[in-house]
């Protein structure tokens, strides 16, 4: 068949077929008069390239799938190299989604700030930050004893990345008391939280909690806390956006591998395929856990609870 017929059967343009030829993905035979001739296998290859393109895999990266078909397999993804191609494409999409999500959240933050500053909000503008308020009927978490073993326990020799740059040694963060509030997941404007989030005891409230520690930061320092950290399993870039958007005066620690949970047997929960920390707060002195707040509720008032304990236990 000629190129026009191939293009029609495969559902592409003749120009696309020529492009695939230029990449060496499709190799027609030549007739006696020099015309390109294609067969049913070429139609199959072009259809495979088109299908993969619809999944976001560019033609240049379809070669493992085409080679799999050429080797006689029924499907282009029946070979290990093809599955590696899927993984690479997924990694690329994940990076793009993360970057776009962060950009969208930043734009929404600018919109909120501008609307609240100028009073220019109009009907249809969603400038209310749902994460700053808490529903009145949130379930109260029970004390299941999952943190009872922690007081008196030494912090592990573990260094975690921080939004301020570098890492922080949890067993030796510095002299004086260190407050580490551990939380599940900070929401972002315009980004949905996991389904059923509000029904999970202790899940909702990370942003109000962070804002509480922000607003009482100087009070906490005056009461004897040498430093304050927030800690969750989100990566540093995710947390850095939160620090910038909320204007937090302290850094966040990132523990995506839940290393601290493994070392100290900290309580976690799973939702939507994510394993997240349960909310708790550690007061650490000389590398040893001096006091634990668990469960934490209500999260928006927790900084005041920590402040009260520091004032009652001055050293």
Tens digit of each residue's pLDDT (9 = 90 or more) over 91-138: 888 777 767 766 766 676 677 667 656 655 444 444 334 556 678 888
Residue 298: asked if its preceding bond is cis (omega within 30°), the reply is yes
Give the number of residues written for the chain. Answer: 315
The structural domains of the chain, ordered by start, are 3-87 (1.10.1660.10), 139-312 (3.40.30.10)
Taking 50 as the pLDDT cut, the residues of the chain under it are 121-129
CA dist list (Å): 104 to 97, 163, 241: 10, 20, 11
pLDDT confidence of residue 196: 87
pLDDT confidence of residue 97: 73
pLDDT confidence of residue 124: 44
The string of pLDDT tens digits covering residues 213-231 is: 999 999 999 999 999 999 9
Residue closest to 131 by CA, chosen among 227, 80, 197: 197
pLDDT confidence of residue 131: 59
pLDDT confidence of residue 127: 39
- Integer-rounded Cα Rg, in Å, for the chain is 28
pLDDT confidence of residue 190: 67
pLDDT confidence of residue 116: 58
H-state helical runs in 11-147: 14-22, 40-54, 63-70, 80-118
Whether pTM exceeds 0.75: no
Beta strand 36-37 pairing with 29-30: antiparallel
pLDDT confidence of residue 98: 63
**Contact (CB, 8 A) for 150 and 282:** yes
pLDDT confidence of residue 23: 93
Rounded-to-integer distance, Cα 149 and Cα 256, Å = 23
């Amino acid at each position: 068949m000629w190129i026009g017929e191939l293009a029609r059967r495969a559902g592409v343009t003749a120009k696309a077929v020529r492009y695939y030829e230029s990449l060496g993905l499709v190799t027609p035979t030549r007739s006696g008069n020099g015309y390109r001739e294609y067969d049913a296998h070429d139609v199959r290859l072009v259809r495979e390239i088109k299908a993969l393109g619809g999944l976001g895999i560019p033609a240049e990266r379809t070669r493992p799938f085409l080679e799999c078909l050429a080797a006689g397999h029924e499907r282009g993804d029946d070979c290990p190299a093809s599955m590696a191609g899927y993984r690479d494409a997924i990694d690329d999409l994940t990076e793009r989604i993360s970057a776009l999500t962060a950009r969208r959240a930043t734009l929404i933050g600018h919109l909120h700030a501008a609307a609240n500053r100028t009073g220019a909000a109009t009907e249809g503008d969603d400038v209310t930050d749902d994460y700053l308020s808490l529903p009145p009927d949130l379930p109260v978490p029970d004390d299941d004893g999952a943190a009872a073993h922690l007081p008196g326990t030494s912090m592990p020799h573990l260094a975690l990345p921080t939004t301020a740059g570098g890492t922080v040694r949890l067993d030796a963060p510095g002299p004086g008391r260190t407050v580490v509030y551990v939380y599940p997941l900070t929401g972002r404007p315009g980004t949905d939280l996991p389904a059923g989030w509000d029904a999970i005891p202790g899940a909702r409230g990370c942003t109000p909690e962070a804002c509480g520690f922000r607003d009482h930061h100087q009070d906490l320092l005056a009461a004897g806390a040498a430093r304050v950290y927030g800690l969750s399993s989100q990566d540093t870039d995710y947390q850095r956006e939160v620090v910038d958007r909320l204007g937090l005066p302290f850094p966040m620690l990132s523990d995506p591998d839940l290393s601290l949970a493994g070392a100290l047997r900290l309580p976690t929960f799973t939702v939507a395929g994510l394993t997240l920390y349960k909310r708790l707060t550690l007061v650490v002195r000389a590398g040893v856990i001096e006091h634990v707040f668990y469960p934490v509720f209500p999260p928006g008032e927790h900084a005041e609870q920590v402040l009260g304990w520091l004032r009652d236990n001055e050293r």
